[in-house]
Amino acid sequence: MLSNFGNTLLFLNLLLGVLIIYFSVGEFQNSKITISKKIYQLCLFQITFVIISFLTLITAFIISDFSIITVYQNSHSLKPLLYKISGTWGNHEGSLLLWVIILTIFSFFFLIYSKNHQKNYRIISLIIQNILILGFLFFLIFNSNPFSIIAPTPKEGLGLNPILQDPALAIHPPLLYIGFVGSSIYFSAAMSSLITNYSGKLFAQSIKNWVLISWSFQTLGILAGSIWAYYELGWGGFWFWDPVENASLLPWFAMSALLHSIMVLEKRNQLYFWVIILCLLTFILSVTGTFLVRSGILNSVHTFANDPSRGLYILIFLSLMIFASVFLFFNKFKNSNYGFYSNSRETFILINNWFMIFYLITILLGTIYPIFTEVLTDYKVSVGPPFYNTVIIPIVVLFLFFMSIGPRIKWIKNKSYNLNLLFKILLASILINFLITYFFNSYSFLSNFIIISALFLIISSLLDLNKSFKKKEINSSRVTSHLAFGFLILFIGLNHNFSLEEDFNLKLGEKKKFDNYSIEFTDLKLKDFENYKAVIGKFQINNLKKNLNQFLYPEIRIYDNPKTITYEASIRSSFLKDYYITMSNVDRSDYYNIKFQKKPFMMWIWISAIFISLGGFLRLFHNAKKNY
């Protein structure tokens, strides 16, 4: 029943997409300067139907309708309600439906909120967005239909992969999708801008809020995924350079570059073609990421079930998108001389963009390099953290200095530098770094530079904040993001410097001592839970110097549906540091393999990332207030 209903809605959406394009084309003959009501109504139907179809799928998950394959494969009647719901987008088919929904929602709201802009520009944006919607709807209905049925109806479902049963992961896909699927709207707008020659300032104004929305959500989405990997995968860190993580980072860099260069377009009416490239690139990278993740072409912890036909469809769609945009761009591109003064805000924003593109290319190369070696030389390699750390970290130092100075430079031409002040900030940063290494007694050559440059950014951002408070400027969004970014890098540096990691085997009752710590394996229990059994260890951690005495309880969980073993880290988080233990059984012995880690400032890494995205939301709020 639900399956038929859901499928009907999807087909109706297909029809609506075609109708919207058809009537939009008809609008060109209409001499009125406003878009006719009919199109608004069709779009309203479109968004309503697609949301109802999603709610239908959620309902099927909640009532455990196992006649639907997607529900059968990814749910179980005994699962807690939250995970029944989040199971809807915890799989390929359901998450693709989420794609289509976000494409549609952005299409609808762009139409509503762009009323002050030229009609033809809006209509063509709508047409292109609907072509994207149709492309993904086709894929959804004919290749990855979430409403396909299975007969006879199974009595019980196979269950959601246990490592996906997690609150952070329940919100991770929707946040991330608003980010990178949301970028579709400025892809469509950029194409339309090229076609209609609706360029410059007005174009910048029409898309800047959409860039902000997608960037802020993308940041939060990446964060949620990172937090999940930290405590669920038991690797003990905040970033692993896993291909899938990288795939989410690629569009983020393009977006961040866009976020900055669009200001130049709005204020100075320059960099138009560069902004267009970034608009197109962001969404192209989002679809590329989806291709890499869904096709199974890359080996990663979190690729979806392999299916080459999916990969092929996305690849064909991606190629069409790329060639259409490249063709259009080359046709319209005009060489223009920017004539920026080297000492101006514009130049510094361009420098920011170079950095972003540098990071982007580095990570893109690292991510797809294994595919190239395998195809061209039949040799399997994997590119890991050493590559990224070596290439990226030294450049971050430079980047942070530019990031501190850039916002102090005036538009068009900066007359004077306050070198004295910069020198004082640098001195203060070096002093603080010295104090940190002196008191905490840990030293690494490179992290000195990281910490000093991060402090430099923090101090200059704080001075800016102080200044804007004095001037009573409410818009502190930029300072918030920059300050938070400085803190993020600072905490990453400190975390890297002062982490402690020990790997050893212990039997029940044994004790291990190292540095100032002793860890005792005091108890082992077997417990039954609703949908899994758990072997729970009890470990007593003593810090001999600080009189610390804590218990941690790592688990080995055995899930029935589907039959899976997972290792749950036990983490004791506090303001200053996290203690982290994972345990795994050693085959045919009484020993357990224990991984103990002390990770300072983990919580602050997460908090900094939240504040980075908060900056984006603040600016959005500010823009909205200004307009209404």
Q: For tokens 């072409």, what's the residue?
A: 297
Of 172, 171, 488, 192, the residue nearest 328 (C-alpha): 192
Which of 25, 312, 544, 586 touches other proteins (CB under 8 A)? 312
Q: Minimum distance from CB of 139 to other proteins (Å)?
A: 15
- Considering the rule CB under 8 A, would residue 381 count as an interface residue with other proteins? no
Between strands 555-559 and 548-552, the pairing is: unpaired
- Considering the rule CB under 8 A, would residue 550 count as an interface residue with other proteins? no
Which of 12, 58, 131, 322 touches other proteins (CB under 8 A)? 322
Of 585, 598, 562, the residue nearest 87 (C-alpha): 562
Q: Minimum distance from CB of 136 to other proteins (Å)?
A: 19
Which of 33, 151, 376, 419 touches other proteins (CB under 8 A)? 376
Which of 354, 372, 423, 469 touches other proteins (CB under 8 A)? 372
**Is the distance from CB of 127 to CB of 46 less than 8 angstroms?**
no
Which of 131, 149, 202, 315 touches other proteins (CB under 8 A)? 315
**Is the distance from CB of 125 to CB of 190 less than 8 angstroms?**
no
C-alpha–C-alpha distance, residues 286 and 295, integer Å: 14
Q: Minimum distance from CB of 296 to other proteins (Å)?
A: 7
Q: Minimum distance from CB of 299 to other proteins (Å)?
A: 6
- Considering the rule CB under 8 A, would residue 422 count as an interface residue with other proteins? no
- Considering the rule CB under 8 A, would residue 564 count as an interface residue with other proteins? no
Rg of the chain taking only CA atoms, in angstroms: 26
The site for other proteins, by CB under 8 A, has a size of 23
Of the candidate spans 58-66, 176-184, 315-323, 350-358, the one that interacts with other proteins by CB under 8 A turns out to be 315-323
- Considering the rule CB under 8 A, would residue 375 count as an interface residue with other proteins? yes
Q: Minimum distance from CB of 312 to other proteins (Å)?
A: 6
Of the candidate spans 11-19, 310-318, 508-516, 527-535, the one that interacts with other proteins by CB under 8 A turns out to be 310-318
C-alpha–C-alpha distance, residues 584 and 535, integer Å: 10
Of the candidate spans 4-12, 137-145, 159-167, 367-375, the one that interacts with other proteins by CB under 8 A turns out to be 367-375
C-alpha–C-alpha distance, residues 85 and 323, integer Å: 38
Largest interatomic CA distance in the chain? 85
C-alpha–C-alpha distance, residues 571 and 464, integer Å: 37
- Considering the rule CB under 8 A, would residue 384 count as an interface residue with other proteins? no
- Considering the rule CB under 8 A, would residue 295 count as an interface residue with other proteins? yes
Which of 299, 336, 444, 550 touches other proteins (CB under 8 A)? 299
Burial class of residue 386 in the structure, from the number of CB atoms within 10 Å of its CB (0-12 exposed, 13-18 middle, 19+ buried)? exposed
Q: Minimum distance from CB of 233 to other proteins (Å)?
A: 18
**Tokens at residue 107, please?**
């299409």
Q: For tokens 């050493």, what's the residue?
A: 386
Please give the full DSSP string across 202-244, using - where no structure is assigned: HHHHHHHHHHHHHHHHHHHHHHHHHHHHHHHS---SS----HH
Backbone angles phi, psi at 114, to 5 degrees: -110, 25
Which of 311, 406, 407, 562 touches other proteins (CB under 8 A)? 311
x/- track of binding to other proteins for residues 244-283 (CB under 8 A): ----------------------------------------
Q: Minimum distance from CB of 269 to other proteins (Å)?
A: 24
Our CB check for other proteins shows the closer of 14 and 322 to be 322
Please give the full DSSP string across 461-509, using - where no structure is assigned: HHHHHHHHHHTT----HHHHHHHHHHHHHHHHHHHHHH-EEEEEEE-TT
Cα–Cα distances (Å) from 587 to 502, 508, 527, 536, in that order, read 20, 15, 21, 17
Backbone angles phi, psi at 537, to 5 degrees: -95, 155
x/- track of binding to other proteins for residues 148-167 (CB under 8 A): --------------------
Which of 147, 291, 596, 611 touches other proteins (CB under 8 A)? 291
For residue 562, cis peptide bond before it (omega within 30 degrees of 0):
yes
Our CB check for other proteins shows the closer of 309 and 516 to be 309
Of 417, 424, 421, 399, the residue nearest 486 (C-alpha): 399
Of the candidate spans 10-18, 53-61, 153-161, 321-329, the one that interacts with other proteins by CB under 8 A turns out to be 321-329
- Considering the rule CB under 8 A, would residue 318 count as an interface residue with other proteins? yes
Q: For tokens 């290749």, what's the residue?
A: 143
Q: How many other β-carbons are positioned within 10 Å of the β-carbon of residue 530?
A: 7
Q: Minimum distance from CB of 290 to other proteins (Å)?
A: 13
3-state SS class at 140: helix
- Residues 326-355 close enough to bind other proteins by CB under 8 A: 326, 330
- Considering the rule CB under 8 A, would residue 562 count as an interface residue with other proteins? no
Which of 26, 167, 308, 509 touches other proteins (CB under 8 A)? 308
- Considering the rule CB under 8 A, would residue 440 count as an interface residue with other proteins? no
Q: Minimum distance from CB of 203 to other proteins (Å)?
A: 23
C-alpha–C-alpha distance, residues 262 and 202, integer Å: 11
Amino acid at 283: F
Of the candidate spans 274-282, 317-325, 336-344, 487-495, the one that interacts with other proteins by CB under 8 A turns out to be 317-325
Residues with Cβ within 8 Å of residue 435, at least 6 apart in sequence = none
C-alpha–C-alpha distance, residues 408 and 174, integer Å: 36
Burial class of residue 98 in the structure, from the number of CB atoms within 10 Å of its CB (0-12 exposed, 13-18 middle, 19+ buried)? buried
Which of 374, 502, 510, 523 touches other proteins (CB under 8 A)? 374
Our CB check for other proteins shows the closer of 82 and 375 to be 375
Our CB check for other proteins shows the closer of 323 and 434 to be 323
Residues with Cβ within 8 Å of residue 82, at least 6 apart in sequence = 167, 170
Cα–Cα distances (Å) from 13 to 19, 27, 45, 53, in that order, read 10, 21, 8, 10
Which of 368, 519, 594, 602 touches other proteins (CB under 8 A)? 368
Which of 34, 41, 77, 306 touches other proteins (CB under 8 A)? 306
Of the candidate spans 61-69, 75-83, 234-242, 308-316, the one that interacts with other proteins by CB under 8 A turns out to be 308-316
Our CB check for other proteins shows the closer of 380 and 472 to be 380
**Is the distance from CB of 582 to CB of 554 less than 8 angstroms?**
yes
Which of 319, 389, 505, 584 touches other proteins (CB under 8 A)? 319
Q: Minimum distance from CB of 392 to other proteins (Å)?
A: 22
The residues binding other proteins (CB under 8 A) are 291, 295-297, 299, 306, 308, 311-312, 315, 318-319, 322-323, 326, 330, 368, 371-372, 374-376, 380
